[in-house]
Structure 1
Amino acid sequence: MLAVIGLIIGIVIALMWQPDLPPWLQPYLPIMIVAALDALIGAWRSSLEHTFSDRVFAVSFVSNVVIAAIIVWIGDLIGVGSQLSTAVLVVLGIRIFTNAASIRRQVLHA
């Protein structure tokens, strides 16, 4: 519950403050958001399975975002940034949908 309250407070502050994103960071933001969503959905799944650990979640959240950004950055360096961005999105999307399917099975008991 504390995490949800923190998320709501963060969203409200961001909407009121409207921070500008540096131009060099803009290509990485969508990848970072999808990586963070993967960690959040995984945390939800582990919570339903009663295996949630806040330490594992924190490490997963940060490492997913950092690793995804590094992969895209390396792709930019070697000239294949958009292809690696697509690959990262596909892999994270598969993980998100796999976790969502598990959540659906647990919630609906199907």
Structure 2
Amino acid sequence: MIAIFGLILGIFLGIWFDPVIPLAIQPYLPVAVVAAIDALFGAGRAYLEDRFNERVFIVSFSWNVIVAALLVFLGVQLGVGSAMTTAVVVVLGIRIFSNTAAIRRSILGA
């Protein structure tokens, strides 16, 4: 419940203060957000399967964001930044849909 409250508060503060993202960080932000969403849906799935562990969630959340950003950085250094970004988003998108399907099966039993 605290995590949901923190998420809602963070969204509200982000909208309220309207932060400016530096140009150097802008290519990494969408991938980091998708990686974070992947970790959140993974945590939701683990919770419904009674396997949720806070430590695993924090490590997974941080690791997903760091690895995704590093892959995009590598792509930028190799001159294929947009292709690498697309690849990372596709892979994480597949994981998100896989987790949402498992959540749906767990909730609806189908």
CA distance in 2, matches of 1:88, 1:94: 10
Matched, 1:39 2:44: no
How far off its partner does 1:2 sit? 0.5
Question: Which consecutive unaligned segments of at least 5 residues does structure 2 have?
Answer: none
| AA of the residue aligned to 1:108 | L
Residue equivalent to 1:12 = 12
Overall identity of the aligned pairs, in %: 55
Q: Tell me, in whole angstroms, the C-alpha distance in 1 between the residues paired with 2:9 and 2:33.
A: 18
Instruction: Report deviation, 1:13.
Output: 1.4
Higher alpha-carbon deviation: 60-69 or 6-15: 6-15
The equivalent of 1:83 in structure 2 is 83
Q: 1:18-57 CA deviation, whole Å, 9 max, x = no partner?
A: 1110011111111111000000000000000010001100
Counterpart position of 2:70: 70
- Distance in 1 (CA, whole Å) between partners of 2:85 and 2:13 is 29
Q: Which amino acid aligns with 2:30?
A: P
TM-score by length of 1: 0.97
- Code of the residue aligned with 1:53 in structure 2: it is N
Distance in 2 of aligned mates of 1:50 and 1:43:
10
Q: Report how far residue 102 of structure 1 moved.
A: 0.5
Count of residues in correspondence between the two structures: 110
Instruction: Give structure 1 stretches of 5+ with no counterpart.
Output: none
What is the RMSD of the two structures over their aligned residues, measured on CA atoms? 0.7
Moved over 6 A (4+): none
